[in-house]
Amino acid sequence: MEAKLLSTDPTTLAVLTLFALLAFTSGFQQKAMDKLLNFDRLVLSSAVGPESLAFDHLGGGPYTGVSDGRIVKWQGQGLGWADFAVHSKYRERVCHGSNDSMLESICGRPLGLQFYKATGDLYVADAYFGLLVVAPNGGVATQLATGADGQPFNLANGLDVDQETGVVYFTDSSTRFRRRDYILAVIMGDATGRLMNYDPKAKKVTVLIRGLAFPNGLAISNDTTFLLIAETGTCRVLKYWLQGPRNGTFEVFAELPGYPDNIKRNPGGEFWVALNQDKVQLNGQTASDFGKTGEPSEHHPVALRLSQEGKVLEVLERRAATSVSEVEERNGTMWLGSVDMPYVGVYTL
C-alpha cells in the first residue's frame, strides 16, 4: 500500500488516506473496548464529547463544552453534572442532548475553555460562534469577537489565558472547513488556520500567525514567555514567543507520532499533548517507533508529556478512551477529555 501511495495523485491519496483513517479508527475502538482499564467515568447526563476541560479559581470543576452546545460543570460525586452556560442563540428544544454534528451550526460547539483567575470569567472558543466569555456565575455567554482582519472565524478551537495580563490566545483552525469536516481539512492539507489574541482592555483581536495547518489546542508556559500550539495537520507542536528577543516569532518545538489535539500545562510547568490518531504514513515516510499505521499496535500513544524544551518525558498509552482530546493533570489526578465519548475519564496517579 505504501508503494502505491507513492505513485498516486493527491486526490486519490487523500481518499485512500481517509479510508486508512476510518479503518484505523474503527479497529482502534474495538481494541480499546477490550482494554478498558481502571479509570473512572464521569458520565454526562445528556450529549457527548467533553473536548476541553477547565477548573475555576477555587478548583471547582471540571467545566466542559459538549456536543449540544452547552457548557456543563462537574459538581462532584453525588451531584454530577449541572448546566453552567449556553450561547444566546441556544435553543433548548432543538439542541438539548443533541450529538448530531449537523445541528452544531445552530447549537454551537464550545471547544477550548479557560478561566481568567483574576476576574473569574470563563473564556470559550466556540467552533461556530467564535470567542465568548461567561461571567463567573454562568448563564448566557457574551460574544466577544466573530472574526479578525475581515475574515470571520470559521473554527475557533484552542484557547488559553495569560494569567499575568488577561490577554486571551486562541486558534481558528481553518477558514475553509467546518468542525464536522475536520478530518477532511487535515487530509487535504488545509493551511488556512490562524493564531490570534484578544486584548480585553482594548477589546481587540490581533492575528499573530496565518497559514497554519489546522492549529488546534494551545497552552501558555508557566512563566508566560512563550506559548505552544498543536498543529494537527503537520503532527507538530510550535512554540510562539511572547517575550524576549524572539518575541512574535515561532519555531518547531516537537515532532509527534500522531495528530495532536489539545495541549495543557501540568503543575510542574511541563505539557501534556493529547493525540487523536496515529500519524498516517504519507509519501513513504516511516512511521515513528510509537505506532504503525493501519494496524494499531499494543503501544498506541494517546498522550505525551513534554518538557519545557520539547523532550518526550512520558508516553501515555491506550489506557483510557478511544479518542483522547485532552489530558489535564491536577494535584495527582488525571482528567481525560474526548471529542466523542459520553464521559470525562479520571484517574489518580
**For binding to ligand NAG (CB under 6 A), which residues are involved?**
48, 59, 99, 222-223, 243, 247-248, 268-269, 308, 331-332, 342
3-state secondary structure of 78: coil
**What residue is closest to ligand NAG based on CB?**
269
Nearer to ligand NAG, 15 or 43 (CB): 43
Q: How far is the CB of 224 from ligand NAG (least distance, A)?
A: 8
Cβ within 8 Å of residue 290, ≥6 positions away: 257, 258, 278, 299, 300, 301, 315
| CB-nearer residue toward ligand NAG: 151 or 249 | 249
Nearer to ligand NAG, 133 or 196 (CB): 196
Residue 7 CB, shortest distance to ligand NAG, in Å, is: 38
- Least separation in angstroms between CB 331 and ligand NAG: 4
- Give me the residues paired with residue 71 across strands: 65, 85
Residue number with CB closer to ligand NAG (27 or 269): 269
Ramachandran quadrant class, 286 (left: phi over 0; alpha: psi -120 to 50; beta: rest): beta
Least Å distance between CB 59 and ligand NAG? 5
CB nearer to ligand NAG: give 99 or 119. 99
User: What is the grid cell recorded at 150?
Assistant: 475581515
What is the nearest approach in angstroms of ligand NAG to the Cβ of residue 308? 5
Whole-angstrom Cα distance, residue 263 to residue 269?
12
- Does the CA dihedral 61-348-158-183 come out positive or negative? negative
Q: How far is the CB of 223 from ligand NAG (least distance, A)?
A: 4
Scored b (16 or more CB within 10 A) or e, 63-83 reads bbbbbbbbbbbbeeeeeebee
**Which residue number, 211 or 332, has a Cβ lying nearer to ligand NAG?**
332
Question: For the sheet containing 71-74, what is the strand order?
Answer: 53-54, 63-65, 71-74, 81-86, 139-140
First to last CA, the chain: 41
